[in-house]
Structure 1
Amino acid sequence: MAKGRNAKKLVSAKDQSVDALFGTRSFILDYYQRDYVWEEPQVARLVSDLSRKFLDQWSEEHALRDVQSYDPYFLGPYIICTAEDKVALVDGQQRIITLLLLLIYLRRQAALMPKASNKAGQLSTLIMTEQFGRRVFRVDVEEYRRCFNALLNGDGFDVDEARPDVRRIWNAYQYIDVHFPAALRGDVLVLFIDWLLYRVSLVAMDAGDRDRAEEMFQSINDCGVRLSPMDHLKRFLLSDAGSDPRELEGTWTTMTSALEGVEHGAALAYLRTVFRARFPEVTQQSGPSLHDATHEWVRTHEGKLWPNRRNGDRARLLTGVLFPFHDFYARLLRARARMDPRLPAVRYNAFNGVVDQFDLTIAALRPGDEQTDKERKAGMVANFLDLFYVTQTLYDEPAEQKDIDDLVSKVLPAVRLTESPDELGRVLADHAADWPARLERIPELSYDTKRRFVHYILTRLTAWVEMGATNGEVDPTDRFLMRRSGDRDFEIEHLFTSTAAKYAHKVPDARYYKYLRNRIGALLLLDGRDNGSYGGALLEDKLTRYRKDTRLAGMLNPDFLKKGNVRLREFLRAERLLDLVTTYDPSTALEPFIEARGRFYYEIAKRIWSLSAFGVVMPAGVGSVTPGRRTHYGVTMKDLVRDGFLRAGDRLVGYRRDQAYFARICSNGNIETASGVATAPTKAMEYAVGAASNGWAFWQVERTRERLDAVRQRYLDSAGR
């Protein structure tokens, strides 16, 4: 051994649960670490992977003690070192910061639930710790502290003035909120928190000192001698390329480079999409996971991918199946990130949290398709998924990624058999034939129960009117949905002020006034700067200023369509909407006005989300509901109250785990619970219990002891439906 030199310890490694990871000292970031760079796809994938792993094992009958036997989930390694008596993150920053944001999100959700208050306290100790008399976050970076504090406490934060990496951290939290499944809200949240803390693990690799850490960081991120899943898959597929594999290797490189140039990780995501689309039967069989071990999945199922395998089959998979569609997949990725006028619904689905939306499109494409045919097929599929999301959400039914996946698995076999866009359109239209009827719920939408969804609906309605008035010259949808750099969001504007006393002469009941002002018929979408300047002004005082906002806002003025706006007037007349335009003046009664405005929105929605608007062929008998394929009963609480099957004021009771929950039926068919007013039984159950399944089966009328689904069936039987 050289004189005066001590041998350094070997790099050590140990597994850690998430609880142990955040239960130690805080981490700092060293000078060579890159900024936080994760965007929505990476955050969404982490949330999706964790939630899927948990929900695949969870049952409503399970208690906390059952979670300890759930399968674990491995999040990979991270590297640390000791620098100036502090623990520095060398590699793994992206995952650990995102996990910290997830803990903050879970802590805020748990704090809203009395049954989860102890979990909120436990999470608080993992999110922050005390060092030398000051509270610090577990990732202790001065530039991130204000952002973390604002997220933890629900405070405001000036995102536009923040550094790009801080802005990405702020946005990552919002993406967690968007992609966090509804199925994990309510009582199940406590179980998920325990599973995350104790059954999700990482491996901590201790590099020792800073010099060794920097060396390891450079080796991992620059030299990269480890074979990735793509490397393994490439070697396997090119292994029977013949005597000269160079041409085939060039094909592989062209494909992967084009995809990675659009989005990091896109090449592997594309391969998985193709395998799911082309070999759905194989993906459902046991063995290695297509997502977690793609190359092992291909090797294991080779006999099913090529039942009578001949030399060259693996290479032909690359040249005949994978390569032909990669460029269009790259187009789809770009359309997901930025509005493509030929594929707008791809962007809509991304906004609504659909991470994986291209399986059906890839299943429908054929190598000989013209570009216009590819666009038509992709547009039909994207609109199909958008209509599913909208109509499911209107009826308080799940529309998470898992539900999208279930829908795709049902439709995919028929889609694979189609050749032309018209054939694809008939398959999709046949499956979705009854969905547009669900748009009847549009007038019942309320700001206080579905804010993000209401924002989306108002965006589509407002943009449709704008495009119609300009012959489609400009599509403002993306501007309405997404924040622009240095600007405020477009925001939901209440037509009527929150001060009920100002309209007491029209609606004396302050609670009912609050309910009315939150209905979608009393809402607009306006530029945030304008919206913020209106304050608590009366509607009659805002009408003149609305004229310079969107056309949907301007139409509230009685003279807006009489003086100018010729193209808008002609457009509305052509769409048979001109007579439905509702204007306002100081003498207008509020309730009829809001209801009429809601019906106007409904008529617009029918045109936006019609099957014919998607360019698909309407199947015979659309509008009739057959027992074998009915997707909903078409019966609302309002129908049952109106026709005397239920009474306004009737108390409802539901039992769950030996606890009784109560609600009351309003005169308009809504259901009032202790936590809010719902338009449907399932949503009322969610408000009352904190979780929801089938609200029609949950609630019964206390007076008659009859369940709501039985009342609904009596209504259907009486009408001969």
Structure 2
Amino acid sequence: MAYVNPSTQSIKTCFQSHYSLPYFQREYKWNSKHFVELLNDIQNTFLLSFDPSHGRRDVSNYSPYFLGSIITSTAINAKKPLIDGQQRITSIFIILAYLERFRIDHKISDALDLSTFLGNFNYGEMNYAVEFSSTRRSIFDKYLDKSQTTEDAIKSADEIPGIDDGDKKILEALRATDEVLDDIVRNAMAYFIDYIIERVLLIDISVDNESEAHRVFVTMNDRGLRLGPIDLLKGQILSKITSPEDSYSCHTVWVDTINKLRNIDPEEDSLFFRSLFRAKWADTIRGKSKGDAPGDFDQIGDAYHRWFEENTGTLGLNNSDDYVRFTRDDIKRFAEIYQFIKRAEDNIINGFECIYYNSARRYGFQSMVLLASIEAHDNTTEWNKKIALTARLIDIILTSRTIEGKDNNYDNLRDISFNLAKALRGKNSSDLLAYIQSEWGKFFPVIARLGQMRYEKVGRSDILYILARISSYLEQEFNLTNKVGFPVYWQRDRGSKTFDIEHLLRKNFDDTALPQSHGFADAKDYNDARNLIGALALLPRSRNRSLQDKPYREKLSAYATENILVQTLCDNLYQSNPNVAGYVSQHPDLKLGSITDFSKEDIVRRTEFYTYIAELIWKQPT
């Protein structure tokens, strides 16, 4: 290995090079949760050092964030072959693209221009710093197109023909970045960009030629030169088991459990133990004041194996029998429940729908909170009740925050989630239900303020989420045969079939087409009312665009053939569907019926309808 030349590089240095990708490195595999975890880790490391009184130069003394290592070989045609590390490099490229777009959109003139790190123009064509496929280049071309709004740019990228699963993951990461970006980071963007460029570091293991680089790659990945946290944790546990027979059986259970977790994702074993230790035994968390020491929560995030070694007494592990029980019974049981949670996050399971809904919002603490009330000896019925109830509590907490206009990002939810996890520990399902019922009154009254949500003031994805929940609920209650379903309403990578928010009223006020009898005093009054949630619905993107800016009356015929939310505006629904008519008669306060010409009064009526349904969706469990 005489030709190996490792060097620590900043992102600034790293992206002064251009990289080619061998065929086995071209697929982007990170799911949204892994990308979000990386972004949150970088943000949190930045925020530990940031102070609003600092000058830009102070960023040079901030604690660095270590990204990991990449393996490259000598450049060929001005591009360095990237043998290992494509996931990291592509993820950082996504972050840089987002930050450059944010810098331009928000006219942050003092922030560093990132365009030169993303690539350069050659003969009128953008040559990106990473050798992407043609579809991936097209995605970034559209995303970075300054002539379009960011929303339109993402929509255009969604509709590129032939995009693969990796391309879809990149689009999801771009959408996720805006949703998880911390408010302090947004307001200190110039500093954060400096931090990303100068203080996010990686090790470039450079080898003279590509064949040698492949040998290094195989050595590092197949021969296990370095033990990871999961291996160290395993060693700490098995070394305390004195009986050879018990050691063998525990090792067998451990290997089987870890393999099942890794079948979900290669990093899932570590995510499981972080969630479990935080859920069941962590007691402290870093405070909000400058210089506060890290608590159990933070130490588990940094090195869960080290935290475990120092806190075995807290876990009740005092002798060999305790370690046998912990490995053979407790870990196995908790891992099985964790795997169920992950399946419920990926696909709607009857009775556990809220786990899916919370995951759709990218709520990253769900596994921790759901595991908090579980005991290893709980039977299936008991732990099923517990996680279903807890997921509903999480759901209304997130929903109430959304209606109040609060961000549901990592930093805002970290302490709330950890304190909730501690409050849930040790409760059986009956006690848990009583606790959740007592908490419900803190959040449910906020549902009545649903009508305050606006297209401009609240994140558009939040409004889309609420409307998607209402739509899917109506489909179930009306017993429709042609259901769309929440996952389809919510899914953002379906091209022209993606559902977008539909304004029921035209963009511009026209006092001839909309006289005073419609209740709008002037253009300002009209524009304010037009963006309220009561004047919004959902339509597939292709239909939304085909209708363009037509008057409401001219869109009704199209609405009649679309999803249930716009069908409720049309007379045909009530004439042709006895289930709908029966439901309306059973709920006289529903304020639901056809609307032939949309007025300001109808916005109020529609808001009352949405609020009524929302209060049914988020009603207190019994």
TM-score, normalised relative to structure 2: 0.89
Distance 1:204 1:171, change over 3 A: same
Distance 1:452 1:503, change over 3 A: farther
TM alignment of 1:236-275, pairs within 5 A: 236-241=236-241, 242-244=243-245, 245-275=247-277
CA apart distance, 1:575? 4.1
The answer as to 2:116 corresponding to 1:125 is yes
TM alignment of 1:83-232, pairs within 5 A: 83-85=75-77, 86-114=79-107, 116-121=108-113, 123-129=114-120, 135-143=126-134, 144-153=136-145, 154=150, 155=153, 156-157=156-157, 158-186=159-187, 188-232=188-232
2:497 maps to which residue? 488
CA apart distance, 1:218? 2.8
> Which amino acid in 1 is paired with 2:117?
L
1:201-257: CA deviations, max 9, x gaps?
A: 111111111110122223334444432221111111111222222111111112112
Distance 1:531 1:341, change over 3 A: farther
Counterpart CA distance in 1 for 2:213 and 2:612 is 62
2:348 maps to which residue? 339
> Which amino acid in 2 is paired with 1:611?
Q
Among residues 598, 607, 612, which one is paired with 1:598 in the alignment?
607
1:155-209: CA deviations, max 9, x gaps?
A: 42234522333333233222323332334222x2222222222222111111111
Counterpart CA distance in 1 for 2:196 and 2:492 is 32
Counterpart CA distance in 1 for 2:11 and 2:273 is 31
Distance 1:177 1:251, change over 3 A: same
Question: Are the equivalent residues in 1 in contact too, given 2:471–2:565 (CA < 8 A)?
Answer: yes
Question: Are the equivalent residues in 2 in contact too, given 1:160–1:487 (CA < 8 A)?
Answer: no
Counterpart CA distance in 2 for 1:444 and 1:350 is 25
Counterpart CA distance in 2 for 1:296 and 1:372 is 34
> Which amino acid in 1 is paired with 2:548?
G
CA apart distance, 1:473? 10
CA apart distance, 1:91? 0.8
More divergent stretch after superposition (140-149 vs 237-246):
140-149
Counterpart CA distance in 2 for 1:132 and 1:218 is 38
TM alignment of 1:426-575, pairs within 5 A: 426-450=434-458, 451-470=460-479, 476-483=485-492, 488-501=497-510, 503-505=513-515, 506=518, 507=520, 509-558=522-571, 560-561=573-574, 563-575=575-587
Counterpart CA distance in 2 for 1:333 and 1:132 is 48
2:389 maps to which residue? 380
2:289 maps to which residue? none
Question: Are the equivalent residues in 2 in contact too, given 1:342–1:375 (CA < 8 A)?
Answer: no
1:433-490: CA deviations, max 9, x gaps?
A: 2211112221121112321111001001111111101189968111111147576211
More divergent stretch after superposition (311-320 vs 381-390):
311-320
Counterpart CA distance in 1 for 2:174 and 2:493 is 18
SS in 1 for 2:254: helix
Greater relative CO (CA pairs within 8 A, separation 6+) = 2
1:509-544: CA deviations, max 9, x gaps?
A: 223322222111111112333333322222222223
**Number of residue pairs matched?**
596
Distance 1:13 1:434, change over 3 A: same
CA apart distance, 1:126? 1.5
CA apart distance, 1:32? 4.2
> C-alpha root-mean-square deviation of aligned residues, in Å?
2.6
Question: Are the equivalent residues in 2 in contact too, given 1:54–1:192 (CA < 8 A)?
Answer: yes
CA apart distance, 1:583? 3.0
Among residues 330, 353, 366, which one is paired with 1:321 in the alignment?
330
CA apart distance, 1:46? 0.8
CA apart distance, 1:132? 8.4
Distance 1:550 1:30, change over 3 A: closer
CA apart distance, 1:373? 2.6
1:626-663: CA deviations, max 9, x gaps?
A: xxxxxxxxxxxxxxxxxxxxxxxxxxxxxxxxxxxxxx
SS in 2 for 1:205: strand
> Which amino acid in 2 is paired with 1:280?
A
Among residues 60, 65, 71, which one is paired with 1:68 in the alignment?
60
More divergent stretch after superposition (401-410 vs 231-240):
401-410
Unaligned runs of 5+ residues in structure 1 are: 1-7, 616-721
The answer as to 2:34 corresponding to 1:21 is no
TM alignment of 1:301-316, pairs within 5 A: 301-306=311-316, 309-316=318-325
2:304 maps to which residue? 294
Among residues 26, 30, 42, which one is paired with 2:22 in the alignment?
30
> Which amino acid in 2 is paired with 1:17?
S
1:79-110: CA deviations, max 9, x gaps?
A: 11114243111111111111011011011112
Unaligned runs of 5+ residues in structure 2 are: 287-293
1:528-561: CA deviations, max 9, x gaps?
A: 3333332222222222332222233222124632
Counterpart CA distance in 2 for 1:135 and 1:482 is 30
Distance 1:496 1:62, change over 3 A: same
The answer as to 2:386 corresponding to 1:394 is no
Counterpart CA distance in 2 for 1:77 and 1:196 is 16
Counterpart CA distance in 1 for 2:571 and 2:489 is 25
> Which amino acid in 2 is paired with 1:403?
N
Counting helix residues as a fraction of each chain, which structure ranks higher?
2
SS in 2 for 1:532: helix
TM alignment of 1:38-57, pairs within 5 A: 38-57=30-49
Distance 1:413 1:35, change over 3 A: closer
The answer as to 2:584 corresponding to 1:583 is no
State the identity %: 24
Distance 1:126 1:483, change over 3 A: closer
Counterpart CA distance in 1 for 2:393 and 2:183 is 21
Question: Are the equivalent residues in 1 in contact too, given 2:345–2:359 (CA < 8 A)?
Answer: yes
CA apart distance, 1:299? 1.8
Distance 1:471 1:246, change over 3 A: farther
SS in 1 for 2:239: helix
TM alignment of 1:335-374, pairs within 5 A: 335-374=344-383
Question: Are the equivalent residues in 2 in contact too, given 1:582–1:593 (CA < 8 A)?
Answer: no
Counterpart CA distance in 2 for 1:320 and 1:134 is 59
Distance 1:542 1:132, change over 3 A: closer
Larger radius of gyration between Structure 1 and Structure 2: 1
1:685 maps to which residue? none
1:331-364: CA deviations, max 9, x gaps?
A: 1111112222221111211221212212122111
SS in 2 for 1:280: coil
Counterpart CA distance in 1 for 2:489 and 2:295 is 45
SS in 2 for 1:366: coil
Counterpart CA distance in 2 for 1:526 and 1:495 is 10
